[in-house]
Structures are given as structure tokens and as C-alpha cells.
Amino acid sequence: MSIGKTEELVLNMGPQHPSMHGLFRMVVHLEGETVTHIDPKLGYLHRGMEKLAESRTYTQFIPYTDRLDYLASPHNNLAYVQTVEKLMGVEIPERGEYLRVIFAELARIASHQVMIASTALDLAGWTAWSYAFRDRERICDMYEMTAGSRLTVNIMRIGGISAEPPEEFWPALQSFLDDSPEMIEEYYGIFFGNEIALGRLKNVGILTKEMAENLSVTGPVLRASGVDYDVRKAEPYGIYDRFDFKVPVRTGCDSYDRTILRLDEIVESIKIIKQAVRDIPGGPIMAKVPKVIKPPAGEVYHRVENPKGELGFYIVSNGTTKPERLRIRPGTFINLQMLPIVAKGWKIQDVVAIFATLDAVLGEVDK
């Protein structure tokens, strides 16, 4: 006797769901526990940032960028202020450039620590979660010393950086760098080498190289599919061309490689910070820019390698104190295209793991 198909079940996941990383909702069509279709629903955290920019001065808009990928605020700041500086032709003092790199790479490490921790937590790995969050607190302490905040860290300025780090910043940074080999070994021992994590992530959610390129995927998700592309190398910005670092690439194309690639990137970020600390010169941290920012009329696009993918800003200036138009290219918004394609045919619990490896922050997705 043949057994017919089970009745289709339509299941809402999110926006109030602990595994949806903010306010993401997806309508999941199931046959038994197997996913047949996913319909992503976005916009629950939409705040109209691009339109708000038109009624804010160039300087007033900087804090709004903190609220995009709020787990890597300095990167959002950096992408925006460098776009304005590109339009104005501003040259940043050497010390300001090195401090920007230090804070940008600290933000990359902190963002990847949250990704590793939340992926572990989505797989019910409470212990692994606590290890990564413990270490991230040290970076938040360094943020607070310099910028006064721990999450929405508003530290970049048009022309440089907001403040010189206090004396206690440098010993805290050196201590963090010294402890990093043990920290990375712990992550591997508690999570990446764990047989449950391997079983849940290995060969699950395959994103082929061709598919990743066709969907314009960027960041660690792209590099985990075997594509050697990083904006810091492909189109260096700031002073990144002075640093010796590798672009981690893995070819497994699965959820495990998308996760462990973040650990590879933490290693490279630590190398960059060590070089920056070694080579940082004295001098000013801010260029001489007008108190009232009025870029010349024109348009500009600039992109950076955000921890979650390529983040770009497109600005149209009409020569006044406010942009005529501002457009944000968020990496995670574009990366989310892969979810309905890659998750099809997997079990409902695998969808949670696949979504976790995208490292989506809805502040950046919805804007």
C-alpha cells in the first residue's frame, strides 16, 4: 500500500522568535518536517533611515549609522564618513587612519564573536555562547573607555576619529591580543570541534560558488563558498593596503564553513591590529575640516568590508549641508536571498542553523 503525501503545514517563524535575530519573519511551508518553500517577510524594523538622511546634516546622520549593523557600529560609521570624505577630498591624519583600523577590526572580532555565540545558542549550545560573549565584553570595555558606549559606538567623524583613546586603553588592548590564542583554542574545543555542532552544520545548507556569485552574496558567506573576494584587498580603502593579512577562504560551501570562517577572520583581524599598534604614529587624529560640512555638488559611492558583507553608501550632494539623496547597500539584505533556495529540502531545525550562519542583523536589513 502506497503512502500519500502529508498535508502541507504553513508555519510562521518570527518576528518574535529567539532564533530570528531581531525582527525577521519567515513563512515556512512544510511537508512533515521537510521545508518545501520559504517566504521571507521583511520590514518589521524599517525606520526610513535613507529618507531621514535628507533632513539631517552630514554630521547629524553619523549616529544613525550606528543603528544599522548595531553589532559592528564603527564599521557603519567608517563606511559613511569615508563616503563623505571621498566627496570632499579630505585627507585623514596618519594617526587617525591607524585608530580607525584598530577600532574597525575590533568591531569585526566582536561581531564574529556574537555570530559564533548565537549560532551555538541556536543549536542549544549554552556553554559555547557564554565563552564568546565573555570575550566580547573586553572589546565593549575598550569601546566604552574611548567612546562612552558599548553597543552603538559612535566613534568616527568626518575627518578622523572622535577621541584619543585614554591611557588605560592600550594595556587593555595588549592584554586582549595576548590572550587571543587561548581564546581561539577554547572556541574550537567547546564548539567547532564538538560532534553535535559538526553533525548539525557539516554538509547542511550548501551554497555553491556559482550560486553565491549569481546572487551577489558578499562577506564571509561568499568566501565560505570558495570565492576569494574581500573589499579590503580588491579595492583597498583607508590604509588597509599597508597591512599583511590573508583573506580566509573555505570550499565546503556549508553551514559549518560559513561559521568557522568567522574564526579564521578573527585570527586575521588580530594580526592587523598587532601591526597597527606597532606602527601607529603620533600626531593629530582629526583633519582640518569646516565646522559646517558642505560637500560640493555631485555624487559618490563608497564601499567597505563590513563583518557581514559589503556595505556601501551612495550619496547625491546638491552643495548644501544635507544630502539630496542617500542610499545604503546592506550586505545582509542581499545575502538573505539565498535562504529560500538553500533551505529547501532540509528539516525545520536545519533552517534555524542555516539562517544563523547568515549572521543577519535586521537593523541593517530593514534600515
Q: At what angle do helices 348-356 and 255-279 cross, to 10 degrees?
A: 20
* Ranges 11-15, 60-64, 144-148: which has the least confidence: 11-15
Write down the pLDDT at residue 94. 94
Asked whether residue 2 carries a pLDDT value surpassing 60, the answer given is no
Q: Name the grid cell of 221.
A: 558567506
**CA gap 312, 314 in Å, rounded:** 7
Q: For residue range 19-47, list pLDDT tens digits in order.
A: 777 788 889 999 888 899 999 988 888 88
Residue 79: band (very low, low, confident or very high) from pLDDT cuts 50, 70, 90: very high
Domains of the chain: 46-366 (1.10.645.10)
Write down the pLDDT at residue 1. 43
Nearest C-alpha neighbor of 80 from the set 314, 305, 307: 314
Residue 270: band (very low, low, confident or very high) from pLDDT cuts 50, 70, 90: very high
Write down the pLDDT at residue 21. 75
Asked whether residue 8 carries a pLDDT value surpassing 90, the answer given is no
Share above pLDDT 90 across residues of the chain, in percent, rounded to a whole number: 68
Asked whether residue 299 carries a pLDDT value surpassing 70, the answer given is yes
Asked whether residue 84 carries a pLDDT value surpassing 90, the answer given is yes
Write down the pLDDT at residue 22. 73
Nearest C-alpha neighbor of 251 from the set 284, 222, 214: 222
Q: For residue range 152-165, list pLDDT tens digits in order.
A: 999 999 999 999 99
Asked whether residue 9 carries a pLDDT value surpassing 90, the answer given is no
332 vs 67, 105, 232, 306, CA distance in Å? 14, 19, 18, 10
Q: How far apart are the first and last CA of the chain?
A: 54
